[in-house]
Structure 1
Amino acid sequence: MQKSNIEPYTIDNYDKEQAYLRAKKRVKVLKGFYWHAFWYTLVNIFLITVVAINSNSTEFWQFSTFSTAFFWGIGIVFHAMGVFGKNLLFSKSWEEKKINQYMENENKQRK
């Protein structure tokens, strides 16, 4: 008799499959953000270069030259917040590091 390669479907297999699907979704979201950032950089370098080549120095330093980068940049920030969370800068680990830093500074001052 030949042994079957199919494992019985257990809770452990279900948990592994769910973890895999969550990880796959997370990678897809990260990949989407990285592509967004790549195109943002590439397109804005191109646009600003074209304006720089075709204008004199006074025309270059106007808001219109950088408006696409500015407004699209706002979109990138919101996309990053959606991908990395609201606590991108001030996460729990950041809070803990700062608390420890202040506690250490206070201990040094008391000595």
Structure 2
Amino acid sequence: MEQFNQEFEKYKRAQKQVEEIKGFYGHLLSYIIVMLFFLFINLKYSPNYLWFFWPMLGWGIGLLCHGLRVFNYTPFLGKDWEQRKMKEFMDQEKQNKYE
């Protein structure tokens, strides 16, 4: 029974990861479409000043952060860091308890 629960938990985590990846690709697609629209508007109505770079930069930073989180590339304060820190605190607690 316990093995079934573990497999079910793995399945749920995998399902959640797939949903997050789908969400990222939807975010990426909307970014591309909106940026193409902004480029068109910019070049048609004010080609002297390329203002579309500013929203592209701002939204691009947000998209980058979203991608890093979804694909589990968090070099600072990621899930591994959390687990290591929790283990460190638990080990300290055990050590303090036995002293």
Q: How does the TM-score come out when normalised to structure 1?
A: 0.61
**Partner residue of 1:73 out of 40, 44, 60:** 60
Aligned residues: 74
Query: C-alpha separation between the residues in 1 aligned to 2:43 and 2:31?
Result: 18
- Percent identical among aligned pairs is 30
Answering whether residue 77 of structure 2 is matched by residue 86 of structure 1, we say no
Shift of the alpha carbon at 1:65?
A: 2.5
Give, in angstroms, the shift of residue 21 of structure 1. Answer: 0.4
Q: Which runs of 4+ in 1 moved over 6 A?
A: none
Please say which structure displays the higher CA radius of gyration: 1
Paired residues of 2:24 and 2:66 also in contact (CA < 8 A)? yes
Give the superposition deviation at 1:79. 0.8
Query: Contact between 2:35 and 2:52, CA under 8 Å: does it hold in 1?
Result: no
For structure 1, the 5+ residue unaligned runs are 1-9, 88-111
CA deviation string 1:26-67 (max 9, x = no partner)? 0111111111111000100011111112234xx14x3x2211
Aligned partner of 1:67: which letter?
W
Partner secondary structure for residue 52 of structure 2 = helix
Matches within 5 A, 1:54-69: 54-56=45-47, 59-60=48-49, 62=50, 64-69=51-56
Match of 1:53 among 32, 44, 47: 44
- Which position in structure 2 is the counterpart of 1:16? 7
C-alpha distance in 2 between matches for 1:65 and 1:11: 55
1:54 is matched by which residue type in structure 2?
Y
- Residues 31-46 of structure 1: matches in 2 within 5 Å? 31-46=22-37
Counterpart residue identity of residue 86, structure 1: T
TM-score where L is the length of structure 2 = 0.67
